[in-house]
């Protein structure tokens, strides 16, 4: 059996700590080839065609399978699609491949429907079409396929090709999570943490983060560290927090490595300065009492006025207000930028934001057209709804 597993990589932004950080989500793509093993009763001629395919006698396989596919045999249609997809015995033709996959999907086979959805999402062999991707994922999601439930939920969550609908997203994430889908469990935990489509519930968030973390999802491990560090829904415990951060760091999550480094620096400062009231004060820094004024730069009021389902770009996150203002002014962004303040247990950060975009894809494309060298500083897309929650909870 050969492998043809693919993944779609997309970044989502959360901030639970509120700092859930930038997170990598995967759309798992089921291998269409596995369908060749599903049927317990093979027609003799299809069995012969299948054997020829596996023996790499593609000429013979084609002569047997194409007539069967044209007669409506779904298994032959899938195999013929594979032959065109990978150029085996025929010219490689992604458009021809997807045509055969769609014919097979119309027979109601969930895994094929899922993969057709992925093809539409990626624009492989067809014009990219998020609505059609959603349609096919909905078909397979209704049949109980966890991967499709997760993908469709993410479309509703992010507003990709569909209106943002947290209730539908959370319902789909619940269905997939109950089938032990690690990334759906992570997504569901985030929605409980922020009260998106569900009542805000740190206990439920913890439960689903733990389940996801047990599958080595680094983002879930990181957020368990956040919960223990800040005492969300449980007793604050830096020792356990560091253990979760370490697991996430071992999983390659850059934010976790940075967090461990920050905690180590803080430990050293506490040892050097027995009076640490300035380090862990629950009060905003002095700059917030005498704010810097630049009427061109927008603030929290502007952020709160944006539709929750739209997006912006976060350009930087700094510890001092004067530094973030200087950053905006130095890059000549005052007329187009905004910044917000987040205060969590004495840690104050100022986030510089730029622009307002209707869709995630529009915001992503805008990164390449940022002024100066800002695109090289790795800006990332933020959802206004999540930023508004941060402002409320600071």
Residue 37 structure tokens: 């093993």
Q: Do residues 382 and 12 touch, judged by C-beta distance below 8 A?
A: no
Question: Do 6-177 and 294-393 have matching folds?
Answer: no
Mean pLDDT by 10 residues, the chain (394 residues): 27 30 35 42 70 91 91 88 91 93 92 92 92 96 94 93 94 96 94 91 94 94 91 88 93 88 67 34 36 70 85 86 86 86 72 87 85 79 80 73
CATH of 6-177, one of 3.40.50.150, 1.25.40.10, 1.20.140.10, 3.40.50.300: 1.25.40.10
Tell me how far apart the alpha carbons of residues 113 and 101 are, in angstroms, rounded to a whole number: 8
Q: In which element (H, E) is residue 139 found? A: helix 130-142
Tell me how far apart the alpha carbons of residues 61 and 63 are, in angstroms, rounded to a whole number: 6
- pLDDT value, residue 346: 59
- pLDDT value, residue 293: 54
- pLDDT value, residue 84: 92
Q: How many CA atoms lie within 13 A of 355 on its CB side?
A: 22
The CATH number of the structural domain formed by 294-393 is 3.30.70.1070
Listed in order, strand segments (DSSP E) in the chain are 6-13, 22-29, 311-318, 337-344, 347-357, 380-383
Q: Do residues 20 and 223 touch, judged by C-beta distance below 8 A?
A: yes
Residue 3's Cα: distance from chain center in Å?
Answer: 24
Q: In which element (H, E) is residue 20 found? A: none
Q: CB count, 10 Å around CB of 320? A: 13
Strand order in the sheet with 311-318: 337-344, 347-357, 311-318, 380-383
Q: Domain coordinates of the chain in residue numbers?
A: 6-177, 294-393
Tell me how far apart the alpha carbons of residues 210 and 194 are, in angstroms, rounded to a whole number: 17
- pLDDT value, residue 155: 94
Angle at 186 between CA 309 and CA 194, to 5 degrees: 45
């Amino acid at each position: 059996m050969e492998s043809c597993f693919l993944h779609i990589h997309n970044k989502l932004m959360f901030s639970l700590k509120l700092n859930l950080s930038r997170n990598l989500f995967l759309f798992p793509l089921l291998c269409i080839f596995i369908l060749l093993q599903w049927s317990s009763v093979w027609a003799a001629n299809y069995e012969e065609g299948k054997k020829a395919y596996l023996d790499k006698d593609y000429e013979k396989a084609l002569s047997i399978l194409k007539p069967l596919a044209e007669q409506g045999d779904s298994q032959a249609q899938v195999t013929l699609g594979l032959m065109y997809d990978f150029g085996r015995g025929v010219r490689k033709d992604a458009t021809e491949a997807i045509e055969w996959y769609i014919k097979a999907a119309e027979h109601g086979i969930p895994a094929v429907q899922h993969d057709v959805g992925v093809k539409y999402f990626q624009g492989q062999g067809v014009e990219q079409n998020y609505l059609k991707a959603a349609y096919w994922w909905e078909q397979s999601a209704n049949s109980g396929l966890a991967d499709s439930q997760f993908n469709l939920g993410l479309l509703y969550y992010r507003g990709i090709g569909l209106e943002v609908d947290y209730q539908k997203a959370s319902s789909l994430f619940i269905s997939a999570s109950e089938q032990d889908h690690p990334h759906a469990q992570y997504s569901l935990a985030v929605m409980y943490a922020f009260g998106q489509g569900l009542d805000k519930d740190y206990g439920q968030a913890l439960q689903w983060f733990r389940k996801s973390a047990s599958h080595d999802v680094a983002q879930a491990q990181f957020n368990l560290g956040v919960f223990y560090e800040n005492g969300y829904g449980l007793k604050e415990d830096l020792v356990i927090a560091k253990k979760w951060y370490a697991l996430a760091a071992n999983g390659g999550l850059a934010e976790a490595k940075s967090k461990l480094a920050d905690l180590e620096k803080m430990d050293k400062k506490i040892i050097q300065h027995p009076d640490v009231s300035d380090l862990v004060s629950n009060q905003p820094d002095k700059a917030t009492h005498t704010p810097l004024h630049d009427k061109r730069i927008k603030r929290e009021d502007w952020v709160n006025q944006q539709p929750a389902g739209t997006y912006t770009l976060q350009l930087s996150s700094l510890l001092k207000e004067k530094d973030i203002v200087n950053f905006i002014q130095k890059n000549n962004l005052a007329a187009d930028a905004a910044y917000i303040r987040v205060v969590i247990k004495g840690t104050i950060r100022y986030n510089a934001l730029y622009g307002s975009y209707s869709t995630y894809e529009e915001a992503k494309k805008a990164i390449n057209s940022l002024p100066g060298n800002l695109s090289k500083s790795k800006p990332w897309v933020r959802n206004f709804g999540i930023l508004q929650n941060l402002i409320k909870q600071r």
